[in-house]
């Protein structure tokens, strides 16, 4: 996320490092003197937890290994945020359990069946048939990468 | 209306969420220290692998039948349990967490609800969000909801995992089906006594006269009887705090060294004291046990125990540890190789409500000290602050040779996904 000259507009937010709740305590002190004008406008600091985890009971993390989804921004070693409570739908990226292994792919529901689409030309789509042992484990909501 | 929600083969189910290859396979989970089988999948039950089977005796059996055997992974089970319990709280505010995999729910003001439908929703949501299969039993009383749960578990095809006892006919049918030894709160010995009296099912039990139950058993059984009759007599939350807390473990090897055993006892005592403080109780009695390896028939056998009565109740690690170490020194015999030891604290009383003594009182400095130790250990984890008689190097010397990763509580252990 490097901002090069004016090519990308980046808005920066202060991350919350104190706690996952991110409440801010404004203390305007004792009544002597002018009260802080900010008191009436206090808001909670941003929290990544709240931003990335909409349903904490159903959220799990996983680590990516492999190249087949680089087109969708999923690189080796990225951290995935998975929400099991979301309904898998056409076009969503999901963690699936296919024939004894976990994999992550884009779901495609077409007239001729369910497909798992990679986002890298060197990989081919996989059609799910009756022979496959297949479970959609959860829908990926966010990717967290280290730069 | 009450519900009992029970997770099916909970430990096995947790493992299966993160390793779906275990789905449909026989799986067994071992106790702490890889001692014996404490959770089995339905497939392992069908193969007649007994509950509590010591694994070293059953190893060959498990291999022959391809039973996957795993160490218990409590960080994982604890996290999954918390998820299940908080999902249940979305359905009613009145939830009593009864054990790691069971909860009683009470529904006040839900009279216009279709409980079969509501139970199905609970079950579906837990399964979808966490991957854990459950059974739901619902009825007008707690004891009956336990019965309904048994029916849901026993007849998955007919009930789809949810059973509601909502009529007199269903109640009687259920009670006639349930054997007396399977009734919640009726122990092995009592069941035997009742069977001898011709009382073979839960229904027979409800036919006994109230006066007989009260006179020959106790108020507890009388309440249970009323509950089974459909008259709510057992309240939610009645059994929150434990009556005794135990920390018992097998050692990794056998030891004939008193210093080593004293250290272990001090550690077990510290663990009991910490649990006491967590549930805001104190104890009047400490039981210490020590025994040799009973499976090694050739070795000198010795097992002993001592009970210590305290002048005033305590939950101070200092007091409990000191007394427990004194007791084990008295039990210890030279030349015996010991394999197992335990500390049990009993006679528990709530901190805010116990009999004060005229002449004995607890050192007032202990309370703030314990608070400080608990605070530090909570913050830095792994019990960083210990007493001097505990080994600082030794964390849990637990045998966990077949442990699965801590998928949900350690960032280095999360599932890997190839793509």
Is A68 assigned a catalytic role? yes
How much is the ipTM here? 0.75
Contact A62 B415 (CB under 8 A): yes
Catalytic residue among A36, A54, A56, A68: A68
Taking CA–CA distances from A120, the nearest residue in chain B reads B419
pTM for this entry: 0.74
Q: Inspect the interface and report whether the beta carbons of B131 and A58 lie closer than 8 Å.
A: no
Q: What pLDDT sits at residue B419?
A: 81
Residue B312: φ, ψ to 5°: -135, 150
Residues A70-113 have pLDDT tens digits of 999 999 999 999 999 999 999 999 999 999 999 999 999 999 89
Q: Which pLDDT belongs to residue B142?
A: 95
Q: What pLDDT does B133 receive?
A: 97
- Report d(CA A38, CA A21) in Å as an integer: 20
d(CA B6, CA B101): 6
Q: What is the CA radius of gyration of chain A?
A: 22
Give the pLDDT confidence of B58-75 residue by residue, as tens digits. 999 999 999 999 999 988
Question: In the prediction, which pLDDT does A45 show?
Answer: 83
Q: B19 φ, ψ to 5°?
A: -140, 75
- Of the partner residues A58, A67, A101, the one whose CB lies closest to the CB of residue B129: A58
Q: Under DSSP, is residue A95 helix (H, G, I), strand (E, B) or coil?
A: strand
Q: pLDDT tens across B87-131, in order?
A: 999 999 999 988 899 999 999 999 889 999 999 999 999 999 999
For residues B310 and A112, give the distance between their C-alpha atoms in angstroms, rounded to a whole number: 75
Residue B42: its H or E element: helix B42-46
Query: What pLDDT, on a 0 to 100 scale, did the predictor assign at position A124?
Result: 94
Are residues A135 and B411, on separate chains, in Cβ contact within 8 Å?
no
For the purposes of burial, counting CB atoms within 10 Å of the CB of B69, is it exposed (0-12), middle (13-18) or buried (19 or more)? buried
pLDDT of A5 reads: 45
Instruction: Say how far residue B33 (Cα) sits from the centre of its chain.
Output: 16
Q: Which chain B residues have a beta carbon less than 8 Å from that of A104?
A: 417, 419
Report strand pairing: A134-144 vs B2-7: unpaired
Q: B91 in contact with A at a CB cutoff of 8 Å?
A: no
Q: Is the pLDDT of residue B397 over 90?
A: no
**Which CATH topology does A55-144 take?**
Umud Fragment, subunit A (2.10.109)
The residues spanned by each domain of chain A are 55-144
Question: pLDDT tens-digit profile of B216-268?
Answer: 998 889 999 999 999 998 887 644 556 788 888 888 788 888 988 999 999 99
pLDDT for B358: 67
Chain B closest CA to A20's CA: distance in Å?
A: 15
pLDDT at B356 over 80: no
Sheet with B94-99, strands from edge to edge, namely B94-99, B102-106, B2-7, B134-139, B162-164
Phi, psi of B31 (to 5 degrees): -70, 175
Compute the nearest-CA separation of B197 from chain A (Å).
49
Between B86, B125, B416, which is nearest A63 by CB?
A: B416
- Tokens 């990926």 belong to A140
Q: Do A103 and B418 touch (CB under 8 A)?
A: yes
Residue by residue, DSSP assigns B220-249 as HHHHHHHHHHT---S-TTTT-S-S-EEEEE
One digit per residue, pLDDT tens: chain A, 147 residues? 443 444 455 666 655 544 555 555 555 555 666 767 777 777 778 888 889 999 999 999 999 999 999 999 999 999 999 999 999 999 999 999 999 999 999 999 999 899 999 999 999 999 999 999 999 999 999 999 998
Strand segments (E) across chain A: 59-65, 79-83, 93-98, 101-110, 113-117, 126-127, 134-144
Residue B352: its pLDDT value, please? Answer: 76
Instruction: Quote the CA–CA distance of B290 and B303 in Å, as a whole number.
Output: 6
B30 close to B62: Cβ distance less than 8 angstroms: no
- pLDDT at residue B294, as a whole number: 80
Domains in chain B, ordered, with CATH? Answer: 167-240 (1.10.150.20), 245-380 (3.30.1490.100)
> Between the CA of residue B3 and those of B72, B160, B199, what are the distances in Å?
28, 16, 27
């Amino acid at each position: 996320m490097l901002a090069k000259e004016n090519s990308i507009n980046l808005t920066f937010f202060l991350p919350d490092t104190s706690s996952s709740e991110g409440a801010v305590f404004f203390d305007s002190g004792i009544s002597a003197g002018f009260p802080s004008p900010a008191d009436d406008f206090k808001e909670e600091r941003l929290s990544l937890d709240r931003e990335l985890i909409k349903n904490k009971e159903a959220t799990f993390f996983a680590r990516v290994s492999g190249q087949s989804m680089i087109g969708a921004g999923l690189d080796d070693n990225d951290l995935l945020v998975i929400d099991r409570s979301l309904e898998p739908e056409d076009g969503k990226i999901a963690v699936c359990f296919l024939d004894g292994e976990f994999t992550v792919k884009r779901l495609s529901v077409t007239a001729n069946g369910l497909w798992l689409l990679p986002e890298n030309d060197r990989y081919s789509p996989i059609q799910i048939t009756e022979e496959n042992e297949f479970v959609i484990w959860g829908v990926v909501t966010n990717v967290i990468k280290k730069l | 209306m009450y519900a009992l929600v029970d997770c099916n083969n909970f430990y096995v189910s947790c493992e299966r969420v993160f390793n779906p290859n275990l789905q449909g396979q026989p799986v067994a989970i071992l106790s702490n220290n890889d001692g014996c089988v404490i959770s089995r999948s339905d497939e392992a039950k069908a193969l007649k692998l007994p509950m509590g089977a010591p694994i070293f005796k059953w190893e060959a059996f498990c291999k022959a039948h391809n039973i996957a055997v795993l160490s218990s992974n409590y960080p994982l089970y604890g996290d999954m349990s918390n998820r299940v319990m908080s999902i249940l709280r979305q359905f009613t505010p009145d939830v009593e967490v009864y054990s790691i995999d069971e909860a009683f729910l009470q529904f006040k003001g839900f009279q216009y609800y279709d409980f079969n439908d509501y139970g199905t929703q609970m079950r579906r949501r837990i399964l979808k969000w966490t991957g854990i299969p459950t059974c739901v039993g619902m009825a007008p009383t707690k004891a009956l909801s336990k019965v309904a749960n048994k029916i849901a578990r026993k007849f998955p095809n007919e009930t789809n995992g949810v059973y509601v006892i909502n009529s007199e006919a269903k109640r009687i049918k259920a009670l006639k089906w349930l054997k007396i030894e399977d009734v919640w709160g009726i122990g092995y010995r009592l069941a035997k006594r009742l069977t001898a009296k011709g009382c073979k099912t839960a229904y027979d039990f409800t036919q006994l006269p109230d006066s007989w139950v009260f006179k020959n058993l106790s108020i507890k059984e009388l309440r249970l009887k009323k509950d089974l009759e459909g008259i709510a007599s057992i309240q939610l939350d009645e059994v929150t705090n434990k009556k005794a807390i135990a920390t018992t473990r097998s050692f990794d090897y056998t030891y004939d060294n008193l210093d080593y055993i004293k250290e272990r006892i001090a550690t077990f005592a510290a663990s009991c004291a910490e649990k006491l403080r967590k549930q805001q109780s104190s104890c009047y009695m400490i039981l210490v046990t020590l025994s040799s390896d009973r499976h090694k028939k050739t070795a000198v056998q010795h097992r002993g125990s001592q009970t210590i009565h305290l002048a005033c109740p305590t939950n101070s690690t200092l007091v409990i540890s000191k007394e427990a170490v004194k007791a084990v020194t008295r039990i210890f015999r030279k030349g015996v190789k010991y394999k197992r030891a335990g500390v049990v604290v009993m006679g528990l009383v709530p901190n805010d409500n116990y009999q004060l003594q005229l002449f004995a009182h607890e050192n007032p400095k202990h309370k703030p000290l314990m608070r400080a130790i608990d605070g530090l250990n909570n913050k830095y984890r792994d019990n960083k602050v210990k007493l001097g008689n505990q080994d600082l190097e030794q964390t849990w010397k637990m045998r966990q040779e077949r442990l699965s990763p801590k998928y949900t509580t350690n960032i280095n252990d999360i599932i890997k996904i190839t793509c």
